[in-house]
Amino acid sequence: MKEKVAILGASHNPERYAHKAFKLLQQYGHEPVPVNPAQSEIEGKKVYPTLGAIDFPVDTLTMYVGPAISSKLEQDILSLHPKRVIFNPGSENPDLEKKLEQKGVQVVEACTLVMLRTNQFER
């Protein structure tokens, strides 16, 4: 089953890992849901300004922001109720990870790109 995947810190810059994840998620048949207050669209796809602006269920949240930002967005992240949160390298946030696990959310510290390419993304 293909997933709706929110990308926190989505970017239109092809050099950024968040953009590479956007493209690869599409390539693997998932629906990327980009989130970034500084963007309005990426390659014709709507970008949500905040996690709170997403008005449908999200299967996975993949993090491309550091702990300084994710800590400020903690309530929005918890309110999204994703089934899984992937903390990509550099985005690890042990306090937030513990809170997510307490809410029953699967927490993964891994690279979304590697997970997709090695068939570890599917749950």
Q: What is the per-residue pLDDT across 19-74, written as a single tens digit (0 to 9) for each?
A: 999 999 999 999 999 999 999 999 999 999 999 999 999 999 999 999 999 999 99
Judged against a pLDDT cut of 90, whether residue 5 lies above it is answered with yes
Q: What is the per-residue pLDDT across 91-106, written as a single tens digit (0 to 9) for each?
A: 999 999 999 999 999 9
pLDDT value at position 1?
Answer: 60
CATH of the domain at 96: 3.40.50.720
Residue numbers of the domain that contains 81: 4-117
Give the C-alpha separation, 106 to 3, whole Å. Answer: 15
Domain count, the chain: 1
- Residue 32's nearest CA partner among 45, 50, 16 is 45
Q: According to DSSP H, which parts of the chain are helical?
A: 17-27, 67-72, 74-80, 94-102, 112-117
For residue 92, give both structure tokens: 């690890």
| pTM to 2 decimal places | 0.97
Asked if residue 57 is part of any domain, the answer here is yes
Asked if residue 123 is part of any domain, the answer here is no
Asked if residue 71 is part of any domain, the answer here is yes
Counting runs of H as helices and runs of E as strands, what totals does the chain give? 5, 7
Asked if residue 122 is part of any domain, the answer here is no
